[in-house]
Amino acid sequence: MALTISNAYLDTAQMAGNGQYIAEYLIGKGWTQNAVAAILGNMQQESNINPGVWQDLNYGNMDGGYGLVQWTPATNYTSWADSRGYPWGGNYTNKESYINGQLERILWEVTNGTQWIPTAAFDFSFTAFTKSAQSPEYLTEAFLKNYERAGTEALSERKQFARYWYNNLSYSGSGGSDTIRRAVEWAVDIANDDTHGYDQINRDGPDYDCSSLLIHAWENAGVPVMEHGANYTGDMYDAFIQCGFKDVTSQVNCETGNGIEYGDVLLNVINHTAMSIGNGNIVQASMNEFNDTKNGQTGDQTGKEIYTRSYYNYVPGGWDYVLRYPGGGTTPPPKKVSLIQWIPE
């Protein structure tokens, strides 16, 4: 997408180009779509989503605001950028480095607890904001109150802008794909390591059951499914949907596996869950060495407690739902896996 950087106000198409770049960048850092839309709604009000804009277009006024979120005074950003080699001001030669510097400053603020001050109404950290599945409107106000603290709030406009960007940008780019890859690779690594087995009592490491395996996989990929109530198969659907997953059950054939993509979560609400790892294969936690759910030894005693295998439709009842994280569909080059043709009774 084309980046537009100048000390001028942008039109919608130009803002969309910058906004799409920001969305893909932050999604790739583990932000939710909701949080990205919220910060974009604030950025539009502050700067027209233009990293080169100065407050009131007063170029070089170091006492005023500058950049995407209008750091005030401008030296709050420019001094930081100088120390790290990022361009600012009228140095537009490398536009990606220009905007990346401001996005990295925001990520630095998240990590270091700078600029964000929790209020009574929004008493949570900047990190929690980035992972939140609350509505874009709610998060827009949270960012305004805890971060911007603007003299002129224009809250309704910020919320409208956030909803527009939530609805009109693509959030299924490489960032989402990277998140899916991390979840799949974590689960496959557990399956390939026999120090991890199946257990429904001690299920949060080193042993896992079917649901805790997938819940921890997505948590380790940066998707806060636990925060939204995921604990077992019976509550996974609502929690995963709140974290941005889409219900694509109607788009696939659960009997044959046709249409199921890399990273798709397969869910039987009562009994079982597994995850597609692409190329017609899945990863799952199944049963312990006694073909039971508890009181086995720690670790995989059979090679089939947590393992990868070819796709099958769950019996009895089949998969109730297939859930897909934004960005699914492309299977990366596979890591080494050991496929076992075995269906638990």
User: Which active-site residues does the annotation give?
Assistant: 46
> From CA 108, how far away is CA 187, in angstroms rounded?
29
- Strand order across the 265-268 sheet: 246-247, 321-324, 265-268, 272-278, 281-285, 306-310
> From CA 21, how far away is CA 3, in angstroms rounded?
8
- Residue count (the chain): 345
Task: Return the closest-CA partner of residue 106 out of 165, 148, 139, 64.
Answer: 148
Tokens of 246: 């889409």
Angle among Cα 3, 171, 45 to the nearest 5 degrees reads: 55
User: What letters, b where the CB count within 10 A reaches 16 and e where it falls short, cover 279-309?
Assistant: eebbbbbbbbbeeebeebeebbebebbbbbb
Q: Which residue has the tokens 């027209």?
A: 48
DSSP-derived 3-state class of residue 275: strand
Q: What crossing angle do the helices spanning 12-27 and 33-47 adopt, rounded to 10°?
A: 140
Bridge partners of residue 307, in order along the sequence: 284
Percent helix, strand and coil across the chain, each to the nearest 5: 40, 10, 50
